[in-house]
């Protein structure tokens, strides 16, 4: 063990695991591109003010994973010069920048600063994000998201495309049976209004609704009453109503029930239209209407959705519409919708289902010089170049170990081909290939080794 351990809540990915993760990322990338999207790489570091202004109440209360620059040192020095006491120091003054907690805020900031970008823009990303959370099996402090933002569009068809694309991504990495819960902030807003919960308490109510899966109802009612000042009786009615078993087939009933409630009507209309678009995207079977779904982050304004899988404890994807986010942070009015996939949780589910393959050998050909004479090693190097150029990943054994040990290594590593070279091969300008699977051996001119092995590349892929 290193005397400097791994940082809490972070993971090391290596030896096949990282390759498999990058391959998944590449699948996501190709799918995003297939829908005409372009990649965006926002910086990991954003101003603490931006992060604070757009996180959830929960994230703010429990603290983000902040990055303080050496500003902290200046703060201490200045305070000392001014004769301040420790009590007079304000922790917020130490904060300058922070690590992004999701992709949406950074990408929106980029859009806010680049007015000339033609819209609608479809921007996708594959990035790590950070949260200073209590760690646990399912709670990492550094975790990966692949997501997309549709910026500068009010069209509900884009909300539908987002859901369909999220569903497609999950299918394409092997989660055929994922499903999405859908709701609309407008609908919830209408319901809260119907139960006479004032608009000023709406954000608080949403925060509590977001915890429905995690906490007991009595606990949530306490929190609503004590922390958010929401009338307990009214909020209990809201919970009772939302928890009823409504689905897409009940939208007409709900429309009648909320007659005259404009927000609720709009919410219901959008949900209905969305479902129709989802049929065209061939994704309608993977979605259901969930009246309790709220999503924690403050910035959502319309459709919200989360992806689930029966083998995951919590959602594996989530997104929604945020029409005010970019103007809120000082950009031009730019309505948007987007989602992020929780790559780590998706991998957990794939692992549990035996569908996650980390067994990716580094090399496909292992070149074994039978001596460690410099000239034999050099011949091995020359013979490898041609094989590499024919698309076969080739490693060379420079260690001088016995040929038996080298063959054991090739076996253990599941490398399909060994290529043996020694003084005889060097003089004859040949390579002895061994097919590790069949045991077949053949000596061929080294000038043909690349082409010959390249031809079998697809077979061993």
Smallest gap from Cβ 195 to a copy of itself, in A, equals 32
Smallest gap from Cβ 171 to a copy of itself, in A, equals 13
Smallest gap from Cβ 112 to a copy of itself, in A, equals 4
Nearer to a copy of itself, 13 or 179 (CB): 13
Nearer to a copy of itself, 40 or 340 (CB): 40
DSSP string for 432-458: EEEETTT--EEEEEHHHHHHHHHHTHH
Smallest gap from Cβ 326 to a copy of itself, in A, equals 8
Which residue carries 């420079």 as its tokens? Answer: 398
Return the structure tokens found at 374: 């410099």
Nearer to a copy of itself, 131 or 295 (CB): 131
Cis ω before 312 (30° cut-off from 0):
no
Return the structure tokens found at 442: 């053949």
* Helix orientation angle between 232-242 and 217-226, rounded to the nearest 10 degrees: 140
Nearer to a copy of itself, 244 or 389 (CB): 389
Residues 239, 242: Cα–Cα separation, whole Å: 5
Return the structure tokens found at 393: 């990943």
Smallest gap from Cβ 398 to a copy of itself, in A, equals 4
Smallest gap from Cβ 204 to a copy of itself, in A, equals 24
Smallest gap from Cβ 255 to a copy of itself, in A, equals 18
Nearer to a copy of itself, 291 or 335 (CB): 335
CA-to-CA dists, residue 146 to 282, 299, 337, 342, 385, angstroms: 22, 19, 15, 7, 36
Number of neighbours of residue 452 by Cβ within 10 angstroms: 16
Buried b (16+ CB within 10 A) or exposed e, 365-402: bbbbbbeeeeebbebbeebbebbeebebebbbbeeeee
Q: CB-hemisphere CA count at 13 Å for 240? A: 7
Nearer to a copy of itself, 33 or 215 (CB): 33
DSSP string for 361-398: -S-SEEEEESS--HHHHHHHHHHHHHHHHTT--EEE--
Nearer to a copy of itself, 16 or 296 (CB): 16
Nearer to a copy of itself, 229 or 362 (CB): 362
| Nearest C-alpha neighbor of 64 from the set 48, 80, 75 | 48
Smallest gap from Cβ 374 to a copy of itself, in A, equals 7
Smallest gap from Cβ 10 to a copy of itself, in A, equals 3
Nearer to a copy of itself, 247 or 330 (CB): 330
Contact between 293 and 306 (Cβ < 8 Å): yes
Give Dmax over CA atoms of the chain in angstroms.
92
């Amino acid at each position: 063990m290193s005397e400097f351990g791994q940082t809490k809540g972070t993971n090391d990915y290596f030896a096949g695991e990282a390759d498999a993760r990058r391959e998944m990322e590449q699948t996501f990338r190709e799918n995003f591109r297939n829908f005409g999207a372009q990649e965006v790489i926002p910086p990991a570091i954003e101003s603490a003010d931006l992060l604070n202004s757009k996180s959830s109440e929960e994230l703010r209360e429990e603290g983000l994973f902040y990055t303080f620059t050496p500003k902290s040192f200046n703060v201490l020095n200045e305070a000392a010069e001014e004769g301040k006491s420790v009590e007079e120091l304000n922790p917020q003054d130490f904060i300058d920048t922070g690590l992004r907690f999701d992709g949406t805020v950074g990408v929106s900031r980029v859009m806010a600063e680049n007015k000339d970008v033609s819209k609608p823009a479809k921007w996708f990303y594959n990035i790590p994000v950070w949260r200073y959370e209590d760690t646990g099996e399912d709670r990492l402090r550094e975790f990966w998201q692949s997501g997309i933002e549709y910026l500068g569009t009010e069209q509900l068809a884009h909300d539908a495309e987002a859901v369909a694309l999220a569903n497609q991504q999950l299918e394409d990495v092997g989660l055929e049976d994922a499903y999405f819960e859908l709701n609309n902030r407008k609908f919830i807003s209408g319901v809260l209004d119907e139960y006479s919960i004032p608009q000023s308490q709406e954000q608080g109510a949403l925060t509590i609704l977001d915890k429905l899966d995690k906490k007991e109802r009595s606990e949530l009612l306490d929190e609503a009453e004590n922390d958010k000042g929401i009338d307990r009786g009214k909020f209990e009615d809201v919970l009772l109503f939302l928890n009823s078993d409504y689905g897409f087939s009940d939208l007409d009933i709900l429309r009648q029930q909320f007659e005259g409630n404009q927000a609720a009507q709009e919410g219901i209309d959008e949900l209905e239209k969305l479902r129709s678009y989802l049929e065209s995207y061939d994704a309608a079977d993977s979605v259901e209407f969930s009246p309790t779904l709220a999503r924690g982050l403050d910035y959502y304004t319309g459709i919200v959705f989360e992806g689930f899988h029966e083998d995951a404890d919590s959602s594996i994807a989530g997104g929604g519409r945020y029409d005010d986010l970019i103007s809120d942070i000082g950009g031009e009015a730019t309505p948007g919708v987007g989602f992020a996939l929780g790559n780590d949780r998706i991998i957990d589910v794939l692992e549990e289902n035996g569908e996650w393959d980390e067994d990716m050998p580094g090399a496909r050909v292992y070149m074994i010089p039978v001596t460690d004479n410099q000239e034999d090693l050099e011949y091995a190097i020359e013979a490898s170049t041609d094989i590499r150029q024919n698309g076969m990943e080739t490693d060379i054994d420079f260690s001088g170990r016995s040929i038996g040990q080298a063959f054991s290594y090739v076996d253990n590593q599941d490398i399909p081909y060994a290529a043996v070279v020694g003084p005889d091969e060097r003089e004859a300008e040949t390579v002895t290939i061994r097919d590790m699977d069949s045991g077949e051996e053949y000596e061929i001119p080294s000038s043909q080794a690349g082409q010959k092995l390249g031809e079998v590349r697809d077979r061993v892929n």
